[in-house]
Amino acid sequence: MGLRPIQIARRKGRKLEPAGSVGSGLTATSSREIRAALDAGRKVIVEVEHRGATPSGSVRHGALKNVRVA
């Protein structure tokens, strides 16, 4: 089974707002790490490199750079 892009959000004040999806840079290992953390109810923070944003605020050409579990 192939890897599916993850939906991301950015913090705006105390809230999160949708920021699109990222698939590039996602490995089988990072995918398993993210799934395990979310299943355990933990926060996942991802660092994404991108080439700007769309008018609606979604990232353009996003690539996953780092995953941290809080």
Q: Mean pLDDT per segment of 10 residues, for the chain of length 70 residues?
A: 83 95 91 92 95 94 94
To which residue do tokens 């705006």 refer? Answer: 12
How far is Cα 54 from Cα 29, in angstroms, rounded to an integer?
Answer: 29
pTM above 0.85, yes or no: no
Name the residue among 22, 66, 17, 16 with its Cα closest to residue 45: 66
- Domain-located, residue 1: no
Encoded tokens for 9: 């959000």
Q: Name the domain count of the chain.
A: 1
- Domain-located, residue 40: yes
Domain residue limits at 54: 6-69
